């Protein structure tokens, strides 16, 4: 029995969200290539993305479940259908949407690429585990590689001839960069000899591209910090001392091979400055964290839409002679509205963060650019965490709605649940994002991004008041006040970091509540009286009403202190 497919994306709400984005018109006015991102052009792009995803990526997803990657003769082999779809994806230019025109990209705003990725990942999140690192590596190489490497790598990455990975984690070190042992030794010809072991490398080996560039962190004898290298899988048709040690057996994302990699005197090319690798790698990491948000959004949207369609079709209960659609039942309506409102608020937030990221890069007014960059940095750990948690939670709720059917492989929900679980882990766990928000964004930077966010949220609340939506404005004010008050209290704890760290994850959750509240406030002001606009406003009002109680809980937990953690001693 074949599995029910994921329904094709409805691009109407996506178009409406893009049309009301703050800052997008500004982007179109300051970057010539961004002016091409008109409403009609973007609608055509998204329509093509929806068709490609439903017609081709759905097949890759199902094939990966039945024919997962295999390690044969030192190379990972994927399901045959994967290669043809990859070539179609690359030749259609999907890799190049937001990459610079100067290097052969289409030069569209990041938010367009994020919207397309959302559509692709709702059908096959594992497929996106290759193009996202490749696009991110292209930005890294563009920023730090010498001109000859740029000329060699950028065109091939952009058009899918070559692939790329991010190689940070090592056995026993994980995300603890200070404990990494991979070593790079300089050679007389200006290259480096790289030796070490790396773990959890997505698409570390595969048969989709001719060559793979490993963006790798390693130690050098001449620097205190780590350095960043580009290590090709092969050079001139010969192996470059890069080996696959094994494939991980894992819960989900079966179409995406996760490899343990070995480097034995592999030739590497230094990117940027020696000892500055971790800071430079953040160009790639930041892009991939944003992509996690989009991936989670796509998966959550799929789960929510599957549940909605099922609730309309499945009949059970009722007082008449015939059973009624289960969407007539109050608790099912609650679940459907929870899922749909969460997706729309998250979409508004992730799209806004993408626009602020571009404004931070391109804004001609230095002060406005600095503020957009600070806001984007404040939102980044929120977006990354939200995407992962939303995908898993929505899939879980969808499974609850479908009941026993959702637990079977006859429906895509059980796979979405499995695939989504890793999202809160990779590219920095939820705990790491929370510590980053506390230590870097709140303490080190003095809450500059938070200050700018508060200004944007205040402005959205003011619009609600002008519209006469005083109840909704009041609910939003409560959430914002909780965030400000909690942040002010945490700022006083720099001398007692453990007290604040004990509530860091709760503070991240509170910051997420506020970010979603900001999104809901903006969606409540969506103009127009069409069915899509009415739906967005209704879901925003429903979602905003749920956020207040959640924010109160998170604010209390953020300030609960470390004393309660002393109970861990009893577990010895």
State the catalytic residues: 427
CA-closest candidate to residue 540, choices 554, 555, 526, 520: 520
- Residues 137 and 213 sit within 8 Å (Cβ to Cβ): yes
Instruction: Indicate the SS3 state at residue 165.
Output: strand
- Distance between CA 321 and CA 30 in Å, rounded? 63
- Distance between CA 144 and CA 271 in Å, rounded? 5
- Distance between CA 524 and CA 539 in Å, rounded? 9
- Residues 153 and 163 sit within 8 Å (Cβ to Cβ): no
Instruction: Indicate the SS3 state at residue 369.
Output: helix
The values of phi and psi at residue 375, to 5°, are -65, -40
70-to-20, 61, 504 alpha-carbon distances in Å: 45, 16, 40
337-to-299, 327, 513 alpha-carbon distances in Å: 17, 11, 17
The values of phi and psi at residue 144, to 5°, are -130, -10
The values of phi and psi at residue 201, to 5°, are -95, 110
Pairing of β 211-218 and β 192-202: unpaired
């Amino acid at each position: 029995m074949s599995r029910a497919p994921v329904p094709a994306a409805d691009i109407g709400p996506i178009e409406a969200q893009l049309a009301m984005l703050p800052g997008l018109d500004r982007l179109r006015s300051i970057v010539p290539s961004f002016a091409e991102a008109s409403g009609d052009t973007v609608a055509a792009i998204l329509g093509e993305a929806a068709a490609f995803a439903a017609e081709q990526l759905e097949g890759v997803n199902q094939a990966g479940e039945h024919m997962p990657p295999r390690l044969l003769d030192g190379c990972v082999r994927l399901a045959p259908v994967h290669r043809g779809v990859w070539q179609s994806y690359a030749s259609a230019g999907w890799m190049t949407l937001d990459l610079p025109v100067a290097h052969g990209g289409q030069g569209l705003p990041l938010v367009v690429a994020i919207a397309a990725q959302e559509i692709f990942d709702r059908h096959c999140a594992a497929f996106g585990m290759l193009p996202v690192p490749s696009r991110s590596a292209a930005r890294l190489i563009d920023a730090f590689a010498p001109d000859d490497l740029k000329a060699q790598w950028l065109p091939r990455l952009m058009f899918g001839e070559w692939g790329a990975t991010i190689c940070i984690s090592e056995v026993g070190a994980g995300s603890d960069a200070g404990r990494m042992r991979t070593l790079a030794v300089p050679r007389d010809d200006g290259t480096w000899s790289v030796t070490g072991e790396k773990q959890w490398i997505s698409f570390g080996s595969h048969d989709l591209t001719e060559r793979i560039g490993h963006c790798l962190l390693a130690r050098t004898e001449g620097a205190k910090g780590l350095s960043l290298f580009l290590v090709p899988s092969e050079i001139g048709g010969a192996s470059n001392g890069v080996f696959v040690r094994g494939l991980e057996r894992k819960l989900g994302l079966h179409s995406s091979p996760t490899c343990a990699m070995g480097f034995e005197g592999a030739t590497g090319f230094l990117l940027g400055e020696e000892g500055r690798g971790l800071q430079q790698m953040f160009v790639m990491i930041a892009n991939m964290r944003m992509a996690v948000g989009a991936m989670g959004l796509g998966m959550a949207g799929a789960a929510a839409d599957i549940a909605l369609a099922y609730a309309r079709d499945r009949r059970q209960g009722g007082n008449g002679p015939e059973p009624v659609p289960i969407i007539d039942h109050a608790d099912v309506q609650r679940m459907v509205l929870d899922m749909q409102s969460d997706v729309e608020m998250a979409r508004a937030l992730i799209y806004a963060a993408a626009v602020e990221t571009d404004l931070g890069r391109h804004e001609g007014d230095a002060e406005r650019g600095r503020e957009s960059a600070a806001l984007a940095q404040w939102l980044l750990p929120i977006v990354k965490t939200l995407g992962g948690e939303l995908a898993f939670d929505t899939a879980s709720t969808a499974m609850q709605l479908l009941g026993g059917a959702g637990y079977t492989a006859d429906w895509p929900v059980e796979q979405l649940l499995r695939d989504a679980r890793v999202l809160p882990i990779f590219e920095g766990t939820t705990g790491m994002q929370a510590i980053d928000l506390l230590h870097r964004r709140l303490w080190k930077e003095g809450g500059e991004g938070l200050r700018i966010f508060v200004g944007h949220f205040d402005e959205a609340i003011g619009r609600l008041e002008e519209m006469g939506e005083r109840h909704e404005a009041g609910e939003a004010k409560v959430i914002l006040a909780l965030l400000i008050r909690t942040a002010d209290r945490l700022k006083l704890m720099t001398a007692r970091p453990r007290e604040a760290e004990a509530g860091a994850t709760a503070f991240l959750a509170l910051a997420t509540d506020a970010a979603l509240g900001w999104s809901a406030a903006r969606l409540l002001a969506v103009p127009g009286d069409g069915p899509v606009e009415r739906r967005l406003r209704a879901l925003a009002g429903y979602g905003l009403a749920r956020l207040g109680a959640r924010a109160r809980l998170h604010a209390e937990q953020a300030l609960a202190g470390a004393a309660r953690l002393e109970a861990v001693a009893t577990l010895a």
